[in-house]
Amino acid sequence: MSSVVGEPTVPTIPLNKLAPEAALRRLELAIVRRLEGFLQGDHLGLLPGPGSESNDARPYRAGEDDVRRIDWAVTARTTEAHVRDTVADRELEVWALLDVTPSMNWGTEGVTKRDLGIAAVATIGFLSQKMGDRFGGLVMRPDEMRRLPARSGRSALYGLLRRMLTEPIVPDHETGSLSLAAGIEELARTQRRRGLRVVVSDFLTPGDHELDPNVEPEWERAMRRLSVRNQVLAVEVVDRREIEFPDVGDMLIRDPETDFERYVNTADEATRQRMDAAAAAQRERIRIALRRAGVGHIQLRTDRDWVQDIARFVLAYRRVASMLHAPPQGVSR
């Protein structure tokens, strides 16, 4: 069966409305962790000229690479000329993980959670970009992870957003082996250079009906590991009707990722109150889990202005970011 509101077929937000740059021009997302080649709490962009920090070695390309950058030790071991790239002293690398599983297709306010998540990626991309900074993305489908390489510049960011918007929509009940926990683990495993990590999801696990905040969601441990080396921001995307059930009589409640479905009489006030209380407990459990993981947390709703919500979060974030991102005991910054 298809979703009650209909499965989306095209993006609900055009590219030119993803993130109004004029509203973001005076804001900057605070960076408080000491990242690779990055001064703690002070982000001014790249210094002129090549960087001084060594990076990975790669094969020499004649006519493109400076022979003075040849790494003779690697060249001797491989019998092929290699050069070692350098990384600019203040370059920041940002990676965003976007969850596009079927539960993200829901939306009753003219925009789906998936497209609101892309808008969040766009807004954070504009807030965190300075000269030379690189922004990359991972799109998590139920059966595979698609990597969008990290590049610098506004045009590269727009290209990444366009690819996210045109990513084929995952139909309901499509199965796969990837879960949110596995996606976060892959982000931590494949992107070894420390930086800013953004995880955009509704943080709902198929089949998980637990409401006790003392019981960890399956993705919490992976999120905690990711935050040990990186500054992490979790963007929770919510639709209004997931937490405020309307009085519309008999309504089909269904899970797009499992076979669960049930008719509920929403005209019964006691029933609505129990459902609202369960939804509130579910969101509170997510909030507490993200707080335990030591990551920044912002909740965006499809019925509100996401730019205003993110701007409000960024202004308040500066006051608590240094305490929130303090590393675990025994781990240095």
Q: What is the residue-wise DSSP string for 86-150?
A: EE-TT--EEEEEEE-SGGGG--SSSS-HHHHHHHHHHHHHHHH--TT-EEEEEEE-SS-EEEEEE
Asked if residues 287 and 223 have their Cβ atoms less than 8 Å apart, the reply is: no
What's the pLDDT score for residue 45? 41
Q: Which of 17-31, 74-88, 154-168 has the lowest mean pLDDT?
A: 17-31
What's the pLDDT score for residue 48? 37
Write out pLDDT tens, residues 253-300. Answer: 877 888 888 888 888 889 889 988 999 999 999 999 999 998 999 999
Residue 43 pLDDT > 70, yes or no? no
Q: How confident is the model at residue 47 (pLDDT cuts 50, 70, 90)?
A: very low
Residue 2 pLDDT > 90, yes or no? no
Asked if residues 128 and 94 have their Cβ atoms less than 8 Å apart, the reply is: yes
Looking at the chain, which runs of residues are DSSP E strands? 53-59, 82-87, 93-99, 134-140, 145-152, 196-201, 231-238, 250-254, 261-265, 296-301
Asked if residues 124 and 310 have their Cβ atoms less than 8 Å apart, the reply is: yes
What's the pLDDT score for residue 40? 39
Q: Which are the contacts of 311, defined by CB distance < 8 A and separation ≥ 6?
A: 23, 24, 27
In whole angstroms, give the CA distance from residue 133 to residue 153.
Answer: 8
In whole angstroms, give the CA distance from residue 313 to residue 29.
Answer: 9
In whole angstroms, give the CA distance from residue 4 to residue 252.
Answer: 8
Q: Which are the contacts of 277, defined by CB distance < 8 A and separation ≥ 6?
A: none
Tell which residue, 300, 241, 244, has the closest CA to residue 116. 300
- How many whole angstroms from its chain centre is CA 185? 13
User: pLDDT: is 236 or 57 the higher one?
Assistant: 236
- How many whole angstroms from its chain centre is CA 243? 22
- Tell me the backbone φ, ψ of residue 159, rounded to 5 degrees: -65, -40
Residue 222 pLDDT > 90, yes or no? yes
- How many whole angstroms from its chain centre is CA 86? 27
Average pLDDT, the chain: 81
What's the pLDDT score for residue 327? 58
Residue 25 pLDDT > 80, yes or no? no
Longest dimension (CA), the chain: 77
Q: How confident is the model at residue 91 (pLDDT cuts 50, 70, 90)?
A: low
User: pLDDT: is 13 or 296 the higher one?
Assistant: 296
Q: Which domains does the chain have, with CATH numbers?
A: 40-90 (no CATH), 91-325 (3.40.50.410)
Write out pLDDT tens, residues 164-190. Answer: 999 988 888 888 888 999 999 999 988
Average pLDDT of span 222-240 = 92
